[in-house]
Amino acid sequence: MNEEEKYFDYSMVPGKEILKNKSINDGKPLISIITGYYNCKNYIRQTANSIINQTFPYWEWIIINDGSTEEGTEETLKEIEKLDCRIKVYNEKNQGRILARDTAIAKSNCDLLFILDADDVIDRTMLECCYWTLKTNPKASWVYADLVNFDGQEFLWRKIFDCSVEKKENIIPVCSLIKKEVLLDVGGYGVVDNDVHEDWHLWLRMLEKGYFPIRMNYYGFWYRKKKEGGILDSINNDKKRDEHARKEIEKQAQKIENEVYAVQFPTTTKCNYDSYPYVFDWNRKPINNKGEKIRLLFLFPWFKVGGADKFNLDLIERLDKNKFDITIVTTEYSEYVWRQKFEKYAEVFDLTSFLNRQDWPAFIHYLIKSRNIDIVMQSSSYFGFYAIPWLKSEFPEVVFTDYLHSVNWGWRNGEYPRDSVAIDGFLDKTYTCTKILRKIMKEDLGRTIDNVETVYIGVDEKEFDSEKVDIKSNKDLANQLEKIKGKKAILFLCRISEEKRPIFILKVLKKMLEKDPNIILMVVGDGPVLAEMKKTAQKDGITDNVIFFGMQSNVKPFYKVADVSVICSLVEGLTITTYESLSMGTPVVTADVGGQKELVDDTCGRVVRNIQTAKNGMYNRNYSSEEIERYANALEEVLKDSKIKDNCREKILNGFTVNNMVKTFEKEFENFAKNGTSINPLCVSNKDLYKQYIVLYNQVDRRNYFPQEGGNDFEMASVRNYKISMIKGKLWKNPIYRGFIKFLQAIGVTKLIKNTGIKEKIRKII
């Protein structure tokens, strides 16, 4: 099971109810939603709710009642039609699902057709994402998203588009936004009979003519898998009908002479020096009224599992929704993982999943304009720092702020705090998670504008209360309790990556075991160094004293079982792990990095000064014996102190709760909404310069994914490059492969391969 499957919540099916925040519909519809209806009264209301909840209100919904025989059909459809003036129901004699769709298409008024069956539902941003990805990729003919199977069966469906595969297996969902002229050009749905997979046949006819799709990389479509099966199941289960359907599909597939390529997200960055930001041609009124609520736009990198992400989630979840409306944009490709947690409280747009990089500024501009955004808050989005100057020049009345977690001298000489200082003239305020970071920005990074304030992240002390936690609620931990029983348990909970020093903590454990074999290390987390960590534990002969639990969604039982938590990182701000551990009454031994000592002292743990630093060698495995000794001694001292646990929770209750953080930001946002920006518009008017910042970012931060082109006439090298980069990415996670490559580089083999052209020959084979 991958991370997406592990974290995906199938109970969050769209359309359970109509949301309170109804969008204002201004002007003619842009999308005609096409639905053939036959005996679906148990499901149509949920479908209707998911449509009415769309963030893009410019639609009409045409429902063709195809002679339903179900009792109560007329009443049900009348109720649906009354829900919204954009819904039109037409009662027709039974002609079958295929002709019912064609009838709806004939009655449509828009150039774009969205095909949706009466029992399926869509994510609330589906229409908006479909519309803008099709507008920004005008050569494409239709667009679809990855899908969630729900109801009778639950599983995720994410298939990379491949024309040769599509000829043999339908990997494109029926739910798609299609250009009407293209659909009519290939004859619509009605060129086949009801015993043929009509949507599959349609895709094949479109591919035959060279029309190509866009595949968005997010779960926008929820397909109902009924326990009793559907129409296609009835065809597949009937030998005669199935044989007929397959013959028709095979006959059509043979007509596709040329390979057709889709636009698939995420796409590779185009690094042209003419990739200037532009503005969408969009003159409609905002979808909400100014002043009803305070409109917030957050720029985040992703929805992974981590300390910064937990802060983002705590803030988004707890802001008063009666006062604030929230939109979130993310700018780094990643798997779903925590996305749904944010979708409970905000509308979410992962730009990498449906837009090319050069179109991101225009879309953010559109969001600010269409949502009447009052305040933009940026946190850890590399792209965001380059985009803010231009956005501020376009919207001088909007307040821009940022939140910073840590400084990393090993990356871009200070990473995000350095970027924040560079654009401080565009920011009304910067917030830091520690006082030490605020000090560093002023003294080391040269921040001259005194508008930096520390707001501690905090922790939910009610949730992280050991008295309320059952250690057996985590099955993985429950299965290991016998092994842990009677031993001193050290918890290492983090992303298993270089800056966290997972190999180092094993060396500390090995040192401690020389004095006391009755110690066990609980490793909770996943990451690129996990495989190496497991091999090192085996090599050092300490596997009996280490338990690897992997990524865990329920971590509270681990804090309760642990006698101490350890943080030996080279780079941190003030970790969520520290807050949570202390709230659970578990002391913390931590590296003296970031603002860790602003929370941890000798009353609730120990602070250890590192010898290795991010500057002098993030990847150095030659650890100082003195530093290993320091951590071993600190851990031993805490493990021997029977009274230290009593102080831990008290430390949190005295000013480090998440509610304190949320109240601070609510007050800040309300003040900004009342008083507006303090930045003079004349100081942010050099738009040509700010455009150049974004061009520069596109040159500096290049990403290799799928090619932006589609159709059958683009250079295949881009596809090969993508495949090679994917293979390289997987191999690079293996420490043996990394060592082998470094060895080849050291003896000059890689240079020889490059000079002799062998590399290009391999590319052509792939």
Average pLDDT, the chain: 92
Q: What's the rounded Cα separation, in Å, for the pair 51 and 23? A: 12
Q: What is the pLDDT of residues 671-684, one digit of tens each?
A: 999 999 999 999 99
Predicted pLDDT of residue 233: 63
Answer whether the bond into residue 266 is a cis peptide, omega within 30°. Answer: yes
Query: What is the structure's pLDDT at 766?
Result: 43
Lowest mean pLDDT among 94-103, 191-200, 642-651, 709-718: 709-718
Is residue 132 a contact partner of residue 355, using CB atoms and an 8 Å limit? Answer: yes
Helix axes 625-640, 502-513, angle to 10 degrees: 70
Q: Is 24 in contact with 288 (CB distance < 8 Å)?
A: yes
Q: Distances from the Cα of 36 to the Cαs of 32, 69, 121, 127, in angstroms?
A: 13, 14, 14, 19
What residue has token string 């709806």? 104
| Helical pair 307-318 and 658-675, crossing angle rounded to 10 deg | 60
Encode pLDDT of 513-568 as tens digits.
Answer: 999 999 999 999 999 999 999 999 999 999 999 999 998 989 999 999 999 999 99
In sequence order, what DSSP letters do the residues of 616-670 get, joined into one string?
HHTT-----HHHHHHHHHHHHHHHH-TTTHHHHHHHHHTT-BHHHHHHHHHHHHH
Check if the beta carbon of residue 549 is closer than 8 Å to that of residue 524.
Answer: yes
Specify the pLDDT at position 755.
59
* DSSP letter, residue 589: E
Pairing label, strands 399-404, 375-378: parallel
CB 571 within 8 Å of CB 614: yes
Q: What is the pLDDT of residue 70?
A: 96
pLDDT digits (tens, 9 = 90+) for 220-279: 999 999 876 666 666 667 778 788 989 999 999 999 999 999 999 999 987 777 789 999
Q: Give the CA distances from residue 167 to residues 170, 207, 239, 706, 707, in Å, rounded to whole numbers and listed in that order.
A: 7, 10, 21, 21, 22
Please give the pLDDT value at position 754. 54
Per-residue confidence at 596, pLDDT binned at 50, 70, 90?
A: very high
Among 410, 393, 387, 159, CA closest to 402: 387
All structural domains of the chain: 28-259 (3.90.550.10), 294-458+669-696 (3.40.50.2000), 471-654 (3.40.50.2000), 717-765 (no CATH)
Which structure tokens are listed for 104? Answer: 């709806």
pLDDT greater at residue 412 or residue 561: 561
Can you give the pLDDT at residue 715? 44
pLDDT tens profile 647-672: 999 999 998 999 999 999 999 999 99
3-state percent helix, strand, coil for the chain, nearest multiple of 5: 40, 15, 40
pLDDT (average), residues 489-513: 97
Residue 722 has pLDDT above 50, yes or no: no
Per-residue pLDDT, averaged over 390-397, amounts to 98
CA distance 460 to 140: 47
Do residues 460 and 498 make contact, with C-beta atoms less than 8 angstroms apart?
no
Rounded to whole angstroms, the Cα distance separating 744 from 752 reads 10
Q: Which residues pair with 590 in a beta bridge?
A: 567, 607
**Residues in CB range of 167: below 8 A, 6 or more apart:** 204, 253, 256
**How far apart are the C-alpha atoms of 541 and 538, rounded to whole Å?**
5
Q: How confident is the model at residue 724 (pLDDT cuts 50, 70, 90)?
A: low
Contacts of 99 (CB under 8 A, 6+ apart): 189, 190
Quick one: pLDDT band at residue 2, thresholds 50, 70, 90? confident
Task: Give the tens place of pLDDT for each residue, 477-487.
Answer: 999 999 999 99
Return phi, psi of residue 435, to 5°.
Answer: -70, -35
Angstrom CA distances, 563 to 421, 488, 495, 543, 630, stand at 41, 6, 20, 19, 18
E strands, 372-518, in order:
375-378, 399-404, 429-432, 452-454, 488-493
Global confidence as pTM = 0.87
* 300 DSSP β-pair partners: 330
**Please, are residues 127 and 54 in contact by the beta-carbon 8 Å criterion?**
yes
**How does pLDDT run across 62-100, given as a tens digit for each residue?**
999 999 999 999 999 999 999 999 999 999 999 999 999
For residues 193 and 111, which has the higher predicted lDDT (pLDDT)?
111
For residue 760, pLDDT over 80 is answered with no
Residue spans of alpha helices (H) in 215-301: 231-236, 239-253
Q: Is the pLDDT of residue 727 over 90?
A: no
Is-contact 457 661, C-beta < 8 A? Answer: yes
Residue showing tokens 């646990």: 645
**Distance between CA 531 and CA 448 in Å, rounded?**
45
